[in-house]
Amino acid sequence: MNNKEQMLRDIGILCFTVVELSLYLDTHPNDRNAIEYFNHYNRIKTQMEREFSKNYYPLKLDYADSNQEWRWGAAPLPWEGVCG
Amino acid sequence: MQDYKFDEHCEQFPVAMAYVPWQRFNGIYEDLEKAYRIGTIFPELNKPFTGGRCVQ
Protein backbone atom coordinates (compact mmCIF):
# COMPACT_ATOMS: atom_id res chain seq x y z
CA MET A 1 0.00 0.00 0.00
CA ASN A 2 1.70 3.23 -1.11
CA ASN A 3 1.62 6.51 0.72
CA LYS A 4 -1.40 7.80 -1.19
CA GLU A 5 -3.53 4.76 -0.37
CA GLN A 6 -2.30 4.75 3.23
CA MET A 7 -3.24 8.41 3.65
CA LEU A 8 -6.67 7.80 2.11
CA ARG A 9 -7.23 4.91 4.49
CA ASP A 10 -6.12 6.95 7.51
CA ILE A 11 -8.40 9.83 6.48
CA GLY A 12 -11.27 7.35 6.16
CA ILE A 13 -10.60 5.97 9.64
CA LEU A 14 -10.42 9.49 11.07
CA CYS A 15 -13.71 10.36 9.37
CA PHE A 16 -15.24 7.28 10.99
CA THR A 17 -13.90 8.30 14.42
CA VAL A 18 -15.16 11.87 14.07
CA VAL A 19 -18.62 10.67 13.05
CA GLU A 20 -18.74 8.26 16.01
CA LEU A 21 -17.83 11.08 18.39
CA SER A 22 -20.41 13.39 16.81
CA LEU A 23 -23.12 10.74 17.24
CA TYR A 24 -22.25 10.49 20.93
CA LEU A 25 -22.21 14.28 21.26
CA ASP A 26 -25.66 14.51 19.63
CA THR A 27 -27.08 12.91 22.78
CA HIS A 28 -24.49 14.27 25.22
CA PRO A 29 -23.94 17.87 24.07
CA ASN A 30 -22.39 19.01 27.35
CA ASP A 31 -19.81 16.26 27.66
CA ARG A 32 -16.59 18.31 27.76
CA ASN A 33 -14.41 15.21 27.55
CA ALA A 34 -16.06 13.99 24.36
CA ILE A 35 -15.86 17.50 22.87
CA GLU A 36 -12.12 17.56 23.44
CA TYR A 37 -11.76 14.17 21.78
CA PHE A 38 -13.82 15.44 18.85
CA ASN A 39 -11.79 18.64 18.47
CA HIS A 40 -8.57 16.65 18.64
CA TYR A 41 -9.45 14.11 15.95
CA ASN A 42 -11.28 16.63 13.79
CA ARG A 43 -8.17 18.82 13.67
CA ILE A 44 -5.98 15.86 12.68
CA LYS A 45 -8.46 14.81 10.01
CA THR A 46 -8.67 18.28 8.48
CA GLN A 47 -4.90 18.62 8.51
CA MET A 48 -4.49 15.26 6.74
CA GLU A 49 -7.15 16.14 4.18
CA ARG A 50 -5.37 19.41 3.40
CA GLU A 51 -2.05 17.67 3.09
CA PHE A 52 -3.49 14.95 0.85
CA SER A 53 -5.21 17.56 -1.29
CA LYS A 54 -1.95 19.45 -1.68
CA ASN A 55 0.07 16.34 -2.60
CA TYR A 56 -2.40 14.43 -4.76
CA TYR A 57 -5.83 15.90 -5.55
CA PRO A 58 -8.42 17.90 -3.59
CA LEU A 59 -10.74 15.66 -1.59
CA LYS A 60 -13.24 18.44 -1.13
CA LEU A 61 -13.96 21.60 -3.05
CA ASP A 62 -12.87 23.51 0.06
CA TYR A 63 -9.32 22.27 -0.60
CA ALA A 64 -9.33 22.94 -4.34
CA ASP A 65 -7.84 26.43 -4.15
CA SER A 66 -4.38 26.44 -5.70
CA ASN A 67 -2.03 28.97 -7.22
CA GLN A 68 -0.64 26.55 -9.79
CA GLU A 69 -3.34 24.76 -11.71
CA TRP A 70 -6.96 23.81 -11.18
CA ARG A 71 -6.83 20.26 -9.81
CA TRP A 72 -10.46 19.73 -8.85
CA GLY A 73 -11.02 17.53 -11.89
CA ALA A 74 -7.88 15.50 -11.26
CA ALA A 75 -9.55 13.19 -8.73
CA PRO A 76 -10.29 9.72 -10.12
CA LEU A 77 -13.97 9.19 -10.85
CA PRO A 78 -15.84 6.67 -8.67
CA TRP A 79 -16.44 4.27 -11.57
CA GLU A 80 -12.75 4.23 -12.42
CA GLY A 81 -12.30 1.72 -9.64
CA VAL A 82 -9.56 3.59 -7.82
CA CYS A 83 -11.24 4.06 -4.42
CA GLY A 84 -11.11 0.35 -3.71
CA MET B 1 -36.69 -21.25 38.02
CA GLN B 2 -34.05 -18.77 38.95
CA ASP B 3 -35.30 -15.68 40.83
CA TYR B 4 -33.70 -12.67 39.16
CA LYS B 5 -32.64 -10.08 41.74
CA PHE B 6 -35.32 -7.39 41.79
CA ASP B 7 -33.63 -4.04 41.21
CA GLU B 8 -35.30 -1.56 43.56
CA HIS B 9 -33.76 1.24 41.47
CA CYS B 10 -36.33 0.49 38.78
CA GLU B 11 -39.28 0.82 41.13
CA GLN B 12 -39.94 4.40 40.14
CA PHE B 13 -40.56 3.42 36.49
CA PRO B 14 -43.90 2.09 35.20
CA VAL B 15 -44.03 -1.63 34.49
CA ALA B 16 -43.92 -3.16 30.98
CA MET B 17 -41.70 -0.39 29.66
CA ALA B 18 -38.16 -0.94 28.28
CA TYR B 19 -35.32 1.17 29.61
CA VAL B 20 -31.88 1.78 28.06
CA PRO B 21 -29.18 2.87 30.52
CA TRP B 22 -27.51 6.17 29.56
CA GLN B 23 -24.05 5.85 27.97
CA ARG B 24 -21.21 7.43 29.94
CA PHE B 25 -18.03 8.62 28.19
CA ASN B 26 -14.90 6.84 29.42
CA GLY B 27 -12.53 7.11 26.53
CA ILE B 28 -12.35 5.33 23.19
CA TYR B 29 -10.23 2.58 21.66
CA GLU B 30 -6.55 3.51 21.38
CA ASP B 31 -6.14 1.72 18.06
CA LEU B 32 -8.54 3.44 15.64
CA GLU B 33 -7.84 0.90 12.92
CA LYS B 34 -9.07 -1.86 15.23
CA ALA B 35 -12.07 0.29 16.22
CA TYR B 36 -12.83 0.79 12.51
CA ARG B 37 -12.82 -2.97 11.93
CA ILE B 38 -14.94 -3.59 15.00
CA GLY B 39 -17.38 -0.86 13.93
CA THR B 40 -17.29 1.39 16.97
CA ILE B 41 -14.77 3.49 18.87
CA PHE B 42 -16.59 2.87 22.15
CA PRO B 43 -15.53 -0.38 23.90
CA GLU B 44 -18.87 -0.54 25.68
CA LEU B 45 -20.69 -0.70 22.33
CA ASN B 46 -18.56 -3.54 20.98
CA LYS B 47 -21.19 -6.30 21.01
CA PRO B 48 -20.35 -8.84 18.29
CA PHE B 49 -22.97 -11.47 17.40
CA THR B 50 -21.51 -14.72 18.67
CA GLY B 51 -24.34 -17.17 18.16
CA GLY B 52 -24.89 -19.75 15.46
CA ARG B 53 -22.89 -20.73 12.38
CA CYS B 54 -22.06 -17.25 11.05
CA VAL B 55 -19.23 -16.66 13.53
CA GLN B 56 -15.70 -16.68 12.05
For A29-48, write each residue's pLDDT tens digit.
999 999 999 999 999 999 99
Mutate to test the interface with B, among A9, A11, A13 (most CBs of B within 10 A): A13
DSSP assignment of A30-46 equals T-HHHHHHHHHHHHHHH
CB contact under 8 A, B35 and A37: no
* Predicted pLDDT at B45: 95
DSSP secondary structure code for residue A81 in this structure: T
Measured between CA atoms, how close is A24 to chain B, in angstroms? 9
Q: Is B47 exposed, middle or buried (0-12, 13-18, 19+ CB in 10 A)?
A: exposed
End-to-end, the C-alpha distance of chain B in Å comes to 34
Contact yes or no for B35/B29 (Cβ under 8 A): yes
Mutate to test the interface with A, among B20, B26, B28, B29 (most CBs of A within 10 A): B28
pLDDT 10s digits, A8-34: 999 999 999 999 999 999 999 999 999
Q: Is the CB of residue A82 less than 8 Å away from at least one CB of chain B?
A: no
DSSP secondary structure code for residue B17 in this structure: -
Chain A CB contacts of B28 below 8 Å? 17, 20-21, 37
Query: A3, A2, A1, A17: which is closest to A52 by C-alpha?
Result: A3
Max CA pair span of chain A: 44
Half-sphere exposure of B29 (CA within 13 A, CB side): 22
